[in-house]
């Protein structure tokens, strides 16, 4: 099964869950500035897109999962939905005040990850904010399944587990505000993450 097939129908029969705490914490910073537009990368069924939209932000939600994008379209007509692969995003330069990526940038090899982060730098408006959360090498799933690269493991689908250094290296074009390790229960597992906030 390729990676997009794994996600294709994933969101159809799941109830919509409340917004992630990462989105709520991001909003605490977003609301202190006069930001109007936000790109939710790998939005899934849009639990965080809907949260930001309800706060009055113009949200564009992007995912390559048909079930996620269709479910979101049926629930909220104010959000612009884009059915696209993160690797192929072709949005305008300086076009978003905020880019938000919750668990959607830890699927790619080093070269692709570097290209994606550079493209996000191009898309973010000067003075804008980017929020990224990825699984970390301390996560219980790191080391499980088939090893497919440095810190990359395939179990169902491929995950690229981040270190603080790897996040920092990929954000080299941005001005980093914070990169930190966190842990919390995610889908019943105690999970470990790297979270980053940066500006352009």
Ligand X SMILES: C[S@@+](CC[C@H](N)C(=O)[O-])C[C@H]1O[C@@H](n2cnc3c(N)ncnc32)[C@H](O)[C@@H]1O
Minimum CB separation of residue 151 from ligand X in Å reads 17
- Residue 65 binds ligand X (CB under 6 A): yes
Using CA atoms, how far apart are residues 113 and 118, in angstroms rounded to an integer? 9
Contacts of residue 54, defined as CB under 8 A and 6 or more positions apart, other chains included, come to: none
Stretch binding ligand X (CB under 6 A), from 52-60, 73-81, 99-107, 164-172: 99-107
**DSSP β-ladder status, 157-160 and 152-155:** antiparallel
Query: Is 7 or 131 the residue whose CB approaches ligand X more closely?
Result: 7
Query: Is 127 or 183 the residue whose CB approaches ligand X more closely?
Result: 183
Pair of tokens at residue 74: 């049926």
- Residue 103 binds ligand X (CB under 6 A): yes
Mark residue 44 as left, alpha or beta (left: phi above 0; alpha: psi -120 to 50; beta: remaining): left
Site string for ligand X, 107-136 (x = CB under 6 A): x-----------------------------
Specify the residue for token string 């300086």. 94
- Is 41 in contact with 86 (CB distance < 8 Å)? yes
Query: Is 43 or 171 the residue whose CB approaches ligand X more closely?
Result: 43
- Residue 193 binds ligand X (CB under 6 A): no
- Residue 27 binds ligand X (CB under 6 A): no
Using CA atoms, how far apart are residues 197 and 132, in angstroms rounded to an integer? 7
Binding residues for ligand X, per CB under 6 A? 7, 20, 42-44, 47-48, 63-65, 68, 85-87, 102-104, 107
């Amino acid at each position: 099964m390729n990676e997009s097939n794994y996600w294709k129908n994933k969101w159809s029969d799941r109830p919509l869950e409340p917004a992630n705490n990462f989105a709520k914490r991001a909003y605490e910073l977003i609301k202190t500035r006069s930001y109007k537009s936000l790109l939710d990368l790998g939005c899934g069924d849009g639990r965080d897109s809907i949260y930001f939209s309800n706060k009055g932000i113009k949200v564009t939600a992007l995912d390559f999962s048909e079930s996620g994008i269709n479910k979101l379209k049926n629930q909220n007509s104010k959000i612009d939905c884009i059915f696209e692969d993160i690797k192929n995003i072709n949005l305008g330069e300086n076009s978003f005040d905020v880019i938000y990526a919750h668990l959607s940038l830890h699927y790619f090899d080093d070269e692709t990850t570097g290209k994606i982060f550079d493209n996000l730098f191009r898309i973010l408006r000067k003075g804008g904010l980017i929020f990224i959360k990825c699984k970390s090498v301390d996560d219980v799933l790191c080391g499980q399944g088939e090893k497919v690269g440095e810190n990359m493991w395939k179990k169902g689908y491929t995950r690229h587990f981040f270190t603080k250094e790897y996040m920092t290296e990929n954000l080299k074009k941005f001005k980093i505000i914070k990169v930190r390790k966190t842990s919390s229960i995610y889908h019943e597992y105690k999970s470990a993450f790297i979270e980053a906030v940066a500006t352009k």
